[in-house]
């Protein structure tokens, strides 16, 4: 038996009271759904203004107003509520007209299993609507967060960069104008200047990360096919790997925004090098669905992993490693993994951290 969606509120418009009562009892007993039954279609709009419904089910041949007329009356104001036509005197012409008008489904009354078929259609349409609503909410939240980040980035790039540039200029002037003799007599001055210069460089690094974080926040609209093998190797060339090494053990095609995917990969590499040591070994490979005699080839997770042989994430911060500004290194920005998380979310993917003789990041691609 097909698993049905729970907690559905139905508005049922039917001029035959016996059928209306049958619908109420059947849906409530078989599915646990709530049915509000009305026999007069002209009352539907008033009821929709007063109550919240997940789906509207309507007969077609009714004396006051037929089902398609009712749909046209309410579709503009309630277009997000699925509308199903459930009629016993239908025809191919009515079905075609219903589809052309935008009715979500057409189910014919009578016959064995018609109520079961209607239940399945209701469940499918409501599930689709709820999924779309959740996606809309997620997108809206991402866009709001992006706007906040955009405002923050504007402040960072302008209000912080200007005084930072002034400070750096003064450091450069002092480095240039102070004589070697004076520095030799006052060695602490050079120490101060070195600290000032490293601090300004650090602030510049933080600004660059903040701007990068803002850029990757919006949901991805356009993608292209990217090969994991070539991507992994190309990105390794863009990080300061020193004595570290990369091992790519397989390939997979990924539909992604390539610049953002490169940003994700480079930040994971940098994280491994910064926390795993200069000679850390990084391994990249695909995550493929399992193929067994009881499992369909397309079933299971699909994506890729990036792992290293370093010490892994310190205890106590595993649940906040993707939070903005969190780092186990006092000199770290705490932006790298936040950027990774933003890239993953903007694609609608998932990321998990696991410890397996080092840090292991698993990105599941929901295609």
pLDDT at 226: 95
pLDDT at 144: 77
DSSP 138-198: HHHHHHHHHHHHHHHHHIIIIIIHHHHHHHHHHHHHHHHHS-HHHHHH-HHHHHHHHHHHH
pLDDT at 87: 81
pLDDT at 295: 44
pLDDT at 84: 92
Summarised one tens digit per residue, pLDDT across range 41-96 is 888 988 999 999 999 999 988 887 888 999 999 988 898 899 999 887 666 778 88
pLDDT at 288: 74
Please name the helix (run of DSSP H) or strand (run of DSSP E) that holds residue 219, with its range, or none: none
Tell me which residues of the chain have a pLDDT lower than 70: 1-2, 89-91, 111, 149, 152-159, 202, 205-206, 209-218, 289-300, 316-319, 324-335, 367
Report helix angle 228-236 to 258-276, nearest 10. 50
Please report, to the nearest 10 degrees, the dihedral formed by the alpha carbons of residues 46, 124, 87, 97 taken in order.
Answer: 90
CB 213 within 8 A of CB 156: no
- The pTM score is 0.48
pLDDT at 157: 66
């Amino acid at each position: 038996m097909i698993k049905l969606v729970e907690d559905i509120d139905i508005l049922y418009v039917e001029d035959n009271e016996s059928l209306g009562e049958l619908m109420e009892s059947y849906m409530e007993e078989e599915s646990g759904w709530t049915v509000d039954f009305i026999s007069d279609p002209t009352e539907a709009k008033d009821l929709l203004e007063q109550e919240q419904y997940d789906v509207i089910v309507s007969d077609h041949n009714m004396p006051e107003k037929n089902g398609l007329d009712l749909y046209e009356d309410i579709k503009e104001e309630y277009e997000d509520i699925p509308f199903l036509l459930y009629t016993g005197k239908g025809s191919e012409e009515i079905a075609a007209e219903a589809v052309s008008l935008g009715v979500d489904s057409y189910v014919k009354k009578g016959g064995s299993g018609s109520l079961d078929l209607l239940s399945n259609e209701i469940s499918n349409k409501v599930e689709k609507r709820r999924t779309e609503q959740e996606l809309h909410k997620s997108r809206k939240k991402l866009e709001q967060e992006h706007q906040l980040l955009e405002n923050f980035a504007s402040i960072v790039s302008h209000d912080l960069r200007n005084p930072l540039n002034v400070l750096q200029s003064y450091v450069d002037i002092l480095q240039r104008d102070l004589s070697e003799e004076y520095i030799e007599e006052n060695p602490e001055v050079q120490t101060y200047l070195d600290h000032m210069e490293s601090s300004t460089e650090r602030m510049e690094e933080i600004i660059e990360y903040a701007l990068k974080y803002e850029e990757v926040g919006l949901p991805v609209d356009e993608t292209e096919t990217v090969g994991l093998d070539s991507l992994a190797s190309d990105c390794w060339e863009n990080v300061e790997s020193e004595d570290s090494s990369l091992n790519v053990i397989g390939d997979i095609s990924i539909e992604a925004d390539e610049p953002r995917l490169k940003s994700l990969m480079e930040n994971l590499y940098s994280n491994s090098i910064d926390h795993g040591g200069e000679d850390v070994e990084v391994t990249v490979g695909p995550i493929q669905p399992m193929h067994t005699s009881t499992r369909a080839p397309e079933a299971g997770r699909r994506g890729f992993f990036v792992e290293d042989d370093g010490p892994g994430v310190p205890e106590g911060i595993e649940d906040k490693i993707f939070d903005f500004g969190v780092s186990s290194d006092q000199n770290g920005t705490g932006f790298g993994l936040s950027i990774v998380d933003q890239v993953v979310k903007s694609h609608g993917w998932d990321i998990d951290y696991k410890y397996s003789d080092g840090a292991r990041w698993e990105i599941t691609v929901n295609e």
